Structure formats: structure tokens, C-alpha cells
Chain A
């Protein structure tokens, strides 16, 4: 059963109980009051009749004896009968005159109501003439019952109409109110079926709107997280595929030349060539494994922070790479404004070495690489072949090569910049790449810590 169904049924039930109980109580109270009023007026009337009878009886006694009091009684009886009041007179329990021709029994000095043949009467008895007689006053009060029944009928009809009206209104109102909840439910059902692009409607300012808003926010967060995880998984998959490729190429060579040495009828020269290939490909494997280990080293944050002079770092790197630069016909320039940063000297040196080496590789014969340092900042700038914006977004991924065909003529494993990125991150340094094809690349490292 839906929530709004429950609310509807319970509210309606509660209301009907209250309404009908209220109406009933009112009806009963009104009836009670009417009975009391009737009784009071009947008592007053009986009192008046009694008084006037006693007066008449006494004046008759004084005027010359009472031959037959029953005549007086009869005249009173007849007189009041026309007003719907029946009088009876008794003496010592014996009926002298009775205007009421139905059997009844009633005690002395009482007020009682009796139903005789479905008609309600009020009986009031009292003694008169100093206890010589008893008078019984009887009045038909079935009017009271009729009134009550009519009243009840009117009340019941009203209650029925009001109840129906209420039931209808409540139904419409609750159904209308539950619409946003229903919409929210439909939204969740869609999500359950895998459609994460849907959003709940955020109309209004009530709890449902608030709920929808939080729900949408939650959905956005989940979507964000999911796409992040997807990208991450994709990257990892790429990494594994690339790594398999990187490892398979030298492995193929080593395996192939090994088998060649084992099986081929080869000349001494061919054997030496095969052996050389085995050695060089094995050292390529070693290089890959070294860089992977370096990457793991950086990831595990096992390094020592000291004050590192950036000027020294630049000079040191230039010194180590001067031979390679000369071989490639590349000029290394420096622009040093001394500054120190807190970091691991080995790692920072590795970082700058990698960046500079990349710069040298990107340059043609006669190219220039400029390494500069200033306040908390390192810059490596080359005038080499540059990169497209698309390439720039990938360069820090492990095993990525800007040359899509993965030519290894320049050497390297394609891991350098991935390592650089990790080192930079470990030092809270931001690494910014600016590049334009055929114009060159500029890498700026800013240390923020």
C-alpha cells in the first residue's frame, strides 16, 4: 500500500470518527436538554394545576360544603384533556377520576417517563389538599422522540454528505501532493535500469523539492565518481597494454636472437650481431624496469627533504647532459637566478634531467634548449618539434609517446614524463606545459610549498 493511500485512509477514518462522534454527542445533548426542559415545564404546569385545583377546592369547601369533589376533578380533567394533559385523582390508592384511559401504575410524589404502546408519556404524581388526594399528571411527550429522530436523520444525512465530500477532496489533495514523490520514484526506477542521465524534478520549496535536489546532487556526485573510475580503469588498461607492448618488443628480440644462436648455421659475424642484439635489448628491459622501480619509489614517498639549490640543480643537469647535447648538435643555455626549494635532491635532479633530455630529443641539429631557474621556479624550453594540444593531454601517461607509431629511434621507454609528474606531485609543484608544433615546448615547474 502506498504512503498516500495509508495517509488517505487513516485521515479519512479519523475524521469520520471525530465528525460522527461529535454530531452524535451534539444530538444526544440536545435531546437530553429537551427532555429536561420538557420535564421542567411539565413540573411547572403540574404545580400550577395543583395550586389552582387546591384553591378551587378550598373555596368550594368554604362556600358551603363539598358534596362531590369528583365533579371538580372531572371539570379539571376535561378542561386539560383538550390541552393534551391527562389528569387522574386518587384517594387512598383508589381512583376517583381518571382522564387517562390506559393502564398504568406510578408511585406517590414521583416524576417518571413511560413508554406505552410506543408513545412516550411523562407522569408526575403528588399529593394535594393536605394529603387527602393524589393527583397524577400525564402528558404525551412523544413529540420529543419524533424530534430526536428527525434530528438524527438530518444529522446522518449531513454527515454522509460531508463525509463523501471530504473523501473526495482528501483523495484529490493527497494524490496531488504525492505527485512529486511518485515522480521521484519513477526517476529512481529509471536509474535502477541503468540510466544515470535522468534527473528528478526540483519544483517548489517543500520537502519533496529538497529531497529531489539532494537526490540530484547525489546523482551528479555518483556520475562524477563513475566517470572518474571509468577513466581511471581505462588508463590502467592502457598502461597494462602499453607495458605489455614495451616488454614484448625487447623480449621478442632476445628470444629470437637466442633461438637464432641456438639453431642457425650462422657465421661468426652473424653470431656476434645476434649476441649484441640480445645484450642491447636486455639493457632496454633493464631501463624499463629501472624507471618502473623509480616510479614505485616516488609513489611510496620514501624521500628526504633538504634545502635544494635550484641553480646547482641546473648546472649539474647541464654538466651531465652536455655530451648528449653535443652528440645531437643541440646547444644548452642557462639562465640562473639562485633560489632554493625544499625537496629530495636525487628526485629533483631526476626530474630536471628527464625534462632536459626530452628537450634535447625534440630538437633537430642546431636546436637550443634553455634551462632557467628563478624564484621557486624551474623552466625548460626547447625550439624542437613541439606537440599538438591533443598530445599534450596524454604526455604524462605512462608509456605514452608523442609519435603515435612509437618510433623508438630516439630511445627511451615513454615513462619519463609519467615519472616527472609523480615527482612534481610529491613536491607539491605544479608542472605546466606550453607547446606548439614545429615551434617548441616550454615546461614550467612552480614549487608552491
Chain B
């Protein structure tokens, strides 16, 4: 997946971002101050830089002008409008405010990566290959026919793999925000996915939380 540089001076938060992005398959490099972030950004290629605004040495706002065309997501402790606007005006692709949720981080990273086409359009695990462009799933090279909602559900699970998604969250992602469906709908579709793709060992039910695709 993508190669991401995390520039954040707080060790605990830097590690938190790294651990979360690692779950969905991104590889991360870490920088703990502005100077080393600049050095790393210039010496190797990254698909995305997650940049803290308040970095020792060179601040995030100063740093962004030295980066050439690499997408940037700002991390700011202040939810202040000014900082966000300034970040976006300086050319950032998005921002995340502390505290953030795992899903929010993963989703924003995914959106920015997709915009810069750094994300692959297919995903493979075991004997299964998912083609997001033509919305098809193959098992052992044979196409398995999925209903549109089943495919969307699989897509959501893959994009947030290794992270437990609650039934409500899945309803929200797959069936849209306003869908007032029963969470049972999610269970039914999960069962179908498990059956069609033989995912019993991969698609796990997490106690009191939801479902998780472990890859």
C-alpha cells in the first residue's frame, strides 16, 4: 500500500498514527521534529505526509512550502478555524484535529491517497482478488457474483481491514447515513459474504463491537 511519513513530535501520538495506518497495510516512516521531517521528505519518496502543525525546529506551516507535490494532511491540536483554513490555503489536502478516531484517520488518508491515485484499485488476499474498478470479486480466478450491497460491505471491510467496525458504522458507510435499517441487515449480509467467499476465518465477529476483516 502507500508509503507515508508521519511528522509529529509527540512520541505517543506518532506511534498511534503509525500503528493504526499499519493495520490497513500502509508502511510508515516517523519523524519527530521539523528538520528530520524535511530531510526525510527530500531524501525519499512518500505518497503522503501527515504533518503536525506544531513541530519543533520547523513548524508544519513552514515545512509545507518546502515539500514538492507530496499530498499533506495536517494534524492540529487546535480545532480553531484559523489553523484549518491556513493549512488548506497553504496547500494541504486535508486536516485531522486531535483527538481523532481511527476510522476518521484511515478514511481521510484513504481519500487523499485515492485523489492522488496512489492507492491500488485491486486488493488480494488468500485466493481472493477484489477489483474495485469493475466491482468484481474473484476466488481462485473464478468470478463470484455479489449483490451491490454485499460488494460495498466487502469494500468497507477491506478498506478498514484489521479494524473492528460496528454494525451501526457499517450501516452508515454501506447503506448511507440516513438509512434507518435494522442492524440485522448487516448480520445477514455478513453471513452471505462469509458463505460466498468462504471467509469464516478472516471475517471475524468482535465481541460487543462488530465485525473485523483480519488480513
Contacts and interface: CB of A to CB of B under 8 A. Distances in A.
Contacts of A406: 9, 54, 56
Contacts of B99: 248, 251-252, 255-256
A305 B165 CA distance: 60
B23 A257 contact: no
A249 B20 contact: no
Contacts of B165: 263
Nearest to A245: B77
A361 to B, nearest CB: 15
A141 to B, nearest CB: 104
B214 A249 contact: no
Interface string A226-247: 0000000000000001001100
Contacts of B12: 250, 253, 257, 277, 280-281
A241 B83 CA distance: 13
A375 to B, nearest CB: 42
Chain A contact residues: over half helix, strand or loop, or mixed?
helix
A83 interface: no
A260 B209 CA distance: 12
Nearest to A262: B209
Given A256-B13, A256-B16, A277-B16, A262 B33 contact: no
Nearest to B34: A405
B56 A403 contact: yes
A: contact size bracket? 20 to 34
A407 interface: yes
Contact of A256 (B9, B102, B214): B102
Among B12, B55, B56, B209, max chain A CB count under 10 A is at: B12
Interface in A283-334: none
A264 B19 contact: yes
A249 B13 CA distance: 8
A256 B20 contact: yes
Contact of A407 (B13, B23, B56, B163): B56
Contacts of B98: 248-249, 251-252
B207 to A, nearest CB: 10
Nearest to B53: A405
Contacts of A251: 98-99
Given A256-B102, A264-B20, A405-B9, A273 B78 contact: no
Contact of B20 (A244, A260, A273, A407): A260
A403 B33 CA distance: 12
A245 B19 contact: no
Interface string B52-74: 00111101000000000000000
A270 B19 CA distance: 8
A259 interface: yes
15 contacts: A244-B78, A245-B77, A245-B78, A248-B99, A249-B77, A255-B99, A257-B16, A259-B102, A260-B20, A260-B102, A263-B212, A264-B20, A264-B102, A264-B162, A407-B33
Given A252-B98, A264-B162, A266-B19, 13 more contacts: A248-B77, A252-B100, A255-B99, A256-B99, A259-B101, A263-B164, A263-B206, A263-B209, A264-B23, A264-B102, A264-B163, A403-B56, A407-B9
Interface of A: 241, 244-245, 248-253, 255-257, 259-260, 262-266, 270, 273-274, 277, 280-281, 403, 405-408
